[in-house]
Protein backbone atom coordinates (compact mmCIF):
# COMPACT_ATOMS: atom_id res chain seq x y z
CA UNK A 1 0.00 0.00 0.00
CA UNK A 2 1.51 3.31 -1.06
CA UNK A 3 1.78 5.46 2.07
CA UNK A 4 2.76 9.08 2.65
CA UNK A 5 4.22 10.34 5.93
CA UNK A 6 3.15 13.98 6.15
CA UNK A 7 4.38 16.91 8.25
CA UNK A 8 2.53 20.23 7.93
CA UNK A 9 4.32 22.93 9.98
CA UNK A 10 4.00 26.68 9.95
CA UNK A 11 7.14 28.82 10.12
CA UNK A 12 7.43 28.58 13.91
CA UNK A 13 7.44 24.79 13.77
CA UNK A 14 9.42 24.23 10.57
CA UNK A 15 12.81 23.30 12.12
CA UNK A 16 11.19 21.01 14.74
CA UNK A 17 9.26 19.33 11.90
CA UNK A 18 12.55 18.63 10.12
CA UNK A 19 13.89 17.24 13.40
CA UNK A 20 10.83 14.98 13.62
CA UNK A 21 11.45 13.74 10.07
CA UNK A 22 15.07 13.02 10.95
CA UNK A 23 13.91 11.01 13.96
CA UNK A 24 11.64 8.91 11.75
CA UNK A 25 14.53 8.10 9.43
CA UNK A 26 16.82 7.39 12.40
CA UNK A 27 14.25 5.05 13.96
CA UNK A 28 13.64 3.09 10.75
CA UNK A 29 16.78 3.44 8.65
CA UNK A 30 15.97 0.45 6.44
CA UNK A 31 12.54 1.73 5.41
CA UNK A 32 12.01 3.76 2.25
CA UNK A 33 9.45 6.20 3.64
CA UNK A 34 7.68 8.51 1.23
CA UNK A 35 7.91 11.70 3.30
CA UNK A 36 6.15 14.98 2.55
CA UNK A 37 6.89 18.32 4.20
CA UNK A 38 3.86 20.41 3.27
CA UNK A 39 3.56 24.12 4.03
CA UNK A 40 3.27 27.56 2.51
CA UNK A 41 6.34 29.10 0.82
CA UNK A 42 6.93 31.61 3.63
CA UNK A 43 7.02 28.81 6.20
CA UNK A 44 10.26 27.36 4.87
CA UNK A 45 13.00 28.47 7.27
CA UNK A 46 16.09 29.87 5.52
CA UNK A 47 18.82 27.25 5.54
CA UNK A 48 16.63 24.35 4.49
CA UNK A 49 18.70 23.99 1.33
CA UNK A 50 21.79 23.50 3.53
CA UNK A 51 20.47 20.36 5.19
CA UNK A 52 22.68 17.32 4.84
CA UNK A 53 21.92 15.82 1.44
CA UNK A 54 21.17 12.39 2.90
CA UNK A 55 18.32 13.95 4.88
CA UNK A 56 17.15 16.56 2.38
CA UNK A 57 16.86 13.98 -0.38
CA UNK A 58 14.58 11.79 1.72
CA UNK A 59 11.74 14.32 1.83
CA UNK A 60 9.45 15.95 -0.68
CA UNK A 61 9.02 19.66 0.07
CA UNK A 62 5.59 20.69 -1.19
CA UNK A 63 4.76 24.39 -0.86
CA UNK A 64 1.40 25.85 -1.82
CA UNK A 65 -1.02 28.60 -0.90
CA UNK A 66 -3.49 27.04 1.51
CA UNK A 67 -5.92 29.97 1.33
CA UNK A 68 -7.85 28.23 -1.43
CA UNK A 69 -8.46 25.35 1.01
CA UNK A 70 -8.89 27.04 4.41
CA UNK A 71 -10.24 30.45 3.39
CA UNK A 72 -13.28 30.03 5.66
CA UNK A 73 -11.18 29.00 8.67
CA UNK A 74 -9.02 30.95 11.08
CA UNK A 75 -6.62 30.06 13.85
CA UNK A 76 -6.97 31.23 17.41
CA UNK A 77 -4.79 31.43 20.47
CA UNK A 78 -1.81 29.12 20.18
CA UNK A 79 -3.28 27.40 17.14
CA UNK A 80 -2.32 28.85 13.76
CA UNK A 81 -4.03 28.07 10.46
CA UNK A 82 -1.50 25.30 9.98
CA UNK A 83 -3.55 22.98 12.20
CA UNK A 84 -6.12 22.73 9.40
CA UNK A 85 -3.67 21.49 6.79
CA UNK A 86 -4.05 17.85 7.77
CA UNK A 87 -7.73 18.11 6.83
CA UNK A 88 -6.79 18.68 3.20
CA UNK A 89 -4.10 16.06 2.70
CA UNK A 90 -6.52 13.74 0.93
CA UNK A 91 -7.08 16.51 -1.63
CA UNK A 92 -3.45 17.56 -2.04
CA UNK A 93 -1.34 14.42 -2.22
CA UNK A 94 -0.64 12.49 -5.44
CA UNK A 95 -3.50 10.24 -6.50
CA UNK A 96 -1.77 6.83 -6.06
CA UNK A 97 -1.28 7.35 -2.31
CA UNK A 98 -3.76 5.20 -0.39
CA UNK A 99 -2.75 5.78 3.23
CA UNK A 100 -1.70 9.03 4.86
CA UNK A 101 0.23 9.19 8.13
CA UNK A 102 -0.10 12.71 9.51
CA UNK A 103 2.56 13.54 12.11
CA UNK A 104 2.70 16.63 14.32
CA UNK A 105 5.86 18.72 14.34
CA UNK A 106 6.21 18.40 18.13
CA UNK A 107 6.72 14.65 17.94
CA UNK A 108 9.80 12.44 18.00
CA UNK A 109 9.88 8.89 16.68
CA UNK A 110 12.09 6.97 19.08
CA UNK A 111 11.55 3.31 18.10
CA UNK A 112 10.76 1.39 14.92
CA UNK A 113 7.08 0.84 14.29
CA UNK A 114 5.62 3.84 12.51
CA UNK A 115 5.74 2.02 9.19
CA UNK A 116 3.42 -0.67 10.58
CA UNK A 117 0.58 1.83 10.22
CA UNK A 118 0.66 1.23 6.47
CA UNK A 119 -0.46 -2.38 6.89
CA UNK A 120 -3.17 -2.22 9.56
CA UNK A 121 -6.76 -3.06 8.63
CA UNK A 122 -9.00 -0.22 9.80
CA UNK A 123 -12.17 -2.29 9.24
CA UNK A 124 -13.77 0.46 7.19
CA UNK A 125 -12.93 3.27 9.60
CA UNK A 126 -11.52 6.43 7.98
CA UNK A 127 -8.64 6.82 10.39
CA UNK A 128 -6.69 5.31 13.24
CA UNK A 129 -5.49 7.39 16.19
CA UNK A 130 -4.67 7.13 19.88
CA UNK A 131 -6.82 8.31 22.78
CA UNK A 132 -6.14 11.86 23.91
CA UNK A 133 -5.47 12.78 27.53
CA UNK A 134 -8.70 14.80 27.26
CA UNK A 135 -10.37 11.37 27.42
CA UNK A 136 -7.86 9.50 29.58
CA UNK A 137 -7.74 12.19 32.26
CA UNK A 138 -11.09 10.82 33.49
CA UNK A 139 -9.03 8.21 35.34
CA UNK A 140 -7.33 10.92 37.38
CA UNK A 141 -10.38 11.46 39.55
CA UNK A 142 -13.48 13.63 39.54
CA UNK A 143 -12.05 16.05 42.10
CA UNK A 144 -9.53 17.34 39.56
CA UNK A 145 -10.54 20.65 37.93
CA UNK A 146 -8.97 19.76 34.59
CA UNK A 147 -10.89 16.50 34.48
CA UNK A 148 -14.14 18.40 34.95
CA UNK A 149 -13.15 20.88 32.26
CA UNK A 150 -12.35 18.14 29.75
CA UNK A 151 -15.62 16.37 30.50
CA UNK A 152 -17.59 19.54 29.88
CA UNK A 153 -15.66 20.05 26.66
CA UNK A 154 -16.53 16.59 25.35
CA UNK A 155 -20.14 16.95 26.34
CA UNK A 156 -20.21 20.27 24.51
CA UNK A 157 -19.23 18.36 21.38
CA UNK A 158 -22.25 16.09 21.81
CA UNK A 159 -20.14 13.15 22.99
CA UNK A 160 -21.12 10.79 25.77
CA UNK A 161 -18.45 10.54 28.44
CA UNK A 162 -17.68 6.93 27.50
CA UNK A 163 -17.20 7.84 23.82
CA UNK A 164 -13.48 7.66 23.03
CA UNK A 165 -11.85 10.93 22.01
CA UNK A 166 -8.63 10.81 19.99
CA UNK A 167 -5.62 13.06 19.53
CA UNK A 168 -5.26 14.31 15.96
CA UNK A 169 -1.51 14.88 16.17
CA UNK A 170 -0.86 11.40 14.85
CA UNK A 171 -3.46 10.06 12.44
CA UNK A 172 -3.25 7.18 10.02
CA UNK A 173 -5.82 7.98 7.34
CA UNK A 174 -7.46 5.57 4.93
CA UNK A 175 -7.78 7.96 2.02
CA UNK A 176 -10.68 6.18 0.32
CA UNK A 177 -12.74 5.90 3.52
CA UNK A 178 -11.96 9.51 4.48
CA UNK A 179 -13.24 10.67 1.11
CA UNK A 180 -16.24 8.37 1.23
CA UNK A 181 -17.33 9.94 4.52
CA UNK A 182 -16.55 13.44 3.17
CA UNK A 183 -14.64 14.25 6.33
CA UNK A 184 -12.83 17.23 4.85
CA UNK A 185 -16.11 18.85 3.85
CA UNK A 186 -17.94 17.97 7.09
CA UNK A 187 -15.21 19.16 9.43
CA UNK A 188 -14.38 22.33 7.50
CA UNK A 189 -18.08 23.24 7.40
CA UNK A 190 -18.48 22.66 11.14
CA UNK A 191 -15.42 24.80 11.94
CA UNK A 192 -16.53 27.61 9.66
CA UNK A 193 -20.12 27.74 10.93
CA UNK A 194 -19.54 27.37 14.67
CA UNK A 195 -15.84 27.82 15.53
CA UNK A 196 -16.46 28.66 19.19
CA UNK A 197 -17.81 25.15 19.73
CA UNK A 198 -14.39 23.65 18.99
CA UNK A 199 -11.73 24.97 21.39
CA UNK A 200 -9.31 22.30 20.17
CA UNK A 201 -10.03 23.22 16.58
CA UNK A 202 -9.90 20.47 13.96
CA UNK A 203 -9.32 17.79 16.62
CA UNK A 204 -12.59 18.66 18.33
CA UNK A 205 -14.45 18.89 15.03
CA UNK A 206 -13.14 15.52 13.87
CA UNK A 207 -14.14 13.89 17.15
CA UNK A 208 -17.57 15.51 17.09
CA UNK A 209 -18.10 14.26 13.54
CA UNK A 210 -16.86 10.70 14.03
CA UNK A 211 -18.32 10.17 17.52
CA UNK A 212 -15.88 7.39 18.36
CA UNK A 213 -15.89 5.93 14.85
CA UNK A 214 -12.13 5.54 14.54
CA UNK A 215 -9.72 2.62 14.88
CA UNK A 216 -7.91 2.95 18.23
CA UNK A 217 -4.13 2.88 18.42
CA UNK A 218 -2.35 2.29 21.69
CA UNK A 219 -0.35 5.02 23.45
CA UNK A 220 2.72 3.52 21.77
CA UNK A 221 1.80 5.73 18.83
CA UNK A 222 1.11 8.91 20.77
CA UNK A 223 2.74 9.06 24.19
CA UNK A 224 1.72 12.48 25.45
CA UNK A 225 0.96 14.80 28.33
CA UNK A 226 0.54 13.17 31.72
CA UNK A 227 2.01 9.90 30.45
CA UNK A 228 5.42 11.48 31.05
CA UNK A 229 4.55 11.98 34.73
CA UNK A 230 3.25 8.47 35.48
CA UNK A 231 6.32 6.23 35.09
CA UNK A 232 4.61 4.34 32.27
CA UNK A 233 7.16 4.98 29.54
CA UNK A 234 9.25 1.92 30.34
CA UNK A 235 6.14 -0.26 30.48
CA UNK A 236 4.56 1.00 27.26
CA UNK A 237 7.75 1.35 25.15
CA UNK A 238 6.36 4.21 23.06
CA UNK A 239 7.20 4.59 19.39
CA UNK A 240 6.16 8.25 19.25
CA UNK A 241 6.72 10.89 21.92
CA UNK A 242 4.38 13.88 21.68
CA UNK A 243 5.24 17.09 23.48
CA UNK A 244 1.74 18.55 23.50
CA UNK A 245 2.24 21.06 26.28
CA UNK A 246 4.10 24.36 26.33
CA UNK A 247 6.92 25.12 26.62
CA UNK A 248 8.35 22.71 24.06
CA UNK A 249 11.66 20.94 24.78
CA UNK A 250 13.43 22.84 21.99
CA UNK A 251 12.65 26.11 23.82
CA UNK A 252 15.78 25.63 25.85
CA UNK A 253 15.50 28.69 28.07
CA UNK A 254 11.91 27.95 29.10
CA UNK A 255 11.87 24.14 29.25
CA UNK A 256 11.53 22.78 32.81
CA UNK A 257 10.99 19.13 31.95
CA UNK A 258 13.46 16.29 31.68
CA UNK A 259 16.91 17.21 30.39
CA UNK A 260 17.07 14.23 28.02
CA UNK A 261 14.39 15.75 25.78
CA UNK A 262 15.92 19.22 25.60
CA UNK A 263 19.32 17.65 24.95
CA UNK A 264 17.93 15.60 22.08
CA UNK A 265 16.82 18.77 20.30
CA UNK A 266 19.86 20.82 21.30
CA UNK A 267 22.34 18.24 20.06
CA UNK A 268 20.57 17.85 16.73
CA UNK A 269 20.19 21.57 16.13
CA UNK A 270 23.90 22.13 16.83
CA UNK A 271 24.69 20.19 13.64
CA UNK A 272 21.78 21.56 11.62
CA UNK A 273 21.46 24.68 9.47
CA UNK A 274 19.84 26.31 12.51
CA UNK A 275 22.52 26.23 15.24
CA UNK A 276 20.88 29.23 16.91
CA UNK A 277 18.14 26.83 18.01
CA UNK A 278 20.78 25.05 20.12
CA UNK A 279 21.59 28.15 22.14
CA UNK A 280 20.42 28.05 25.73
CA UNK A 281 21.26 29.21 29.24
CA UNK A 282 24.47 28.06 30.90
CA UNK A 283 22.49 26.62 33.79
CA UNK A 284 19.16 25.50 32.37
CA UNK A 285 16.31 24.55 34.65
CA UNK A 286 15.97 21.05 33.22
CA UNK A 287 15.25 18.03 35.40
CA UNK A 288 18.04 15.46 35.68
CA UNK A 289 15.70 12.84 37.10
CA UNK A 290 12.26 11.52 36.30
CA UNK A 291 9.29 13.50 37.70
CA UNK A 292 8.42 12.47 41.26
CA UNK A 293 5.84 9.70 41.41
CA UNK A 294 3.52 11.18 44.03
CA UNK A 295 0.69 9.26 45.64
CA UNK A 296 -1.85 10.97 43.37
CA UNK A 297 0.21 10.07 40.29
CA UNK A 298 0.63 6.46 41.41
CA UNK A 299 -3.11 6.10 41.83
CA UNK A 300 -3.79 7.75 38.46
CA UNK A 301 -1.23 5.47 36.80
CA UNK A 302 -2.80 2.36 38.33
CA UNK A 303 -6.31 3.26 37.20
CA UNK A 304 -5.11 4.24 33.75
CA UNK A 305 -3.04 1.07 33.39
CA UNK A 306 -6.04 -1.11 34.27
CA UNK A 307 -8.09 0.61 31.57
CA UNK A 308 -5.39 0.42 28.91
CA UNK A 309 -4.64 -3.22 29.69
CA UNK A 310 -8.26 -4.13 28.97
CA UNK A 311 -8.47 -2.29 25.64
CA UNK A 312 -8.23 -3.81 22.18
CA UNK A 313 -5.85 -1.72 20.11
CA UNK A 314 -5.19 -1.96 16.41
CA UNK A 315 -1.50 -2.51 17.09
CA UNK A 316 -2.10 -5.17 19.73
CA UNK A 317 -2.58 -5.20 23.50
CA UNK A 318 -0.32 -3.46 25.94
CA UNK A 319 1.63 -6.21 27.62
CA UNK A 320 1.66 -5.15 31.23
CA UNK A 321 -0.43 -6.02 34.24
CA UNK A 322 -2.12 -3.17 36.03
Dihedral over alpha carbons 161, 206, 197, 84 (to 10 degrees): 150
| Residue 94 CB neighbours (<10 A) | 11
pLDDT of residue 322: 44
The whole model's pTM is what?
A: 0.96
* pLDDT surpassing 80 at residue 76: no
274 lies in some domain: no
277 lies in some domain: no
258 lies in some domain: no
Residue 128 is given by DSSP the state E
282 lies in some domain: no
283 lies in some domain: no
Mean pLDDT for 243-255 is 97
| CA–CA separation, 141 and 188 (whole Å) | 34
Mean pLDDT for 220-233 is 95
238 lies in some domain: yes
- What's the whole-number average pLDDT of the chain? 95
- Report the CATH number at residue 161: 3.90.550.10
257 lies in some domain: no
pLDDT of residue 81: 87
Confidence band, pLDDT 50/70/90 cuts, at residue 320: low
CB 190 within 8 A of CB 148: no
| CA–CA separation, 162 and 258 (whole Å) | 33
Q: Which domain holds residue 85?
A: 3-245+292-310
Which DSSP string do the residues of 54-122 spell out, in sequence order?
HHHTTEEEEE--THHHHTT---BTTB-GGGGGGGGHHHHS-TT--EEEEE-TTEEE-SS-GGGGGT---
Mean pLDDT for 42-63 is 97
Mean pLDDT for 222-240 is 95
Q: What is the number of structural domains in the chain?
A: 1
128 lies in some domain: yes
Q: In what order do the strands lie in the sheet with 223-224?
A: 107-109, 240-242, 223-224
CB 234 within 8 A of CB 148: no
Amino acid sequence: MRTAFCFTPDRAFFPPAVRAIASLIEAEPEETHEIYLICEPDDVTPGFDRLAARLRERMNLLTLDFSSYDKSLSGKGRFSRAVFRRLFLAEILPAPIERIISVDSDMLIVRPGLSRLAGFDFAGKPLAAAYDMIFLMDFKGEEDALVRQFRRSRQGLGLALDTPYFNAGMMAIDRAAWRREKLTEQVAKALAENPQRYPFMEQDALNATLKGGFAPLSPRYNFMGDFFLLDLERRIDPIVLHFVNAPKPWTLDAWKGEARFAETYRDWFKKSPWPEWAEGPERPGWRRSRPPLTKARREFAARLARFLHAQRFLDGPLQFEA
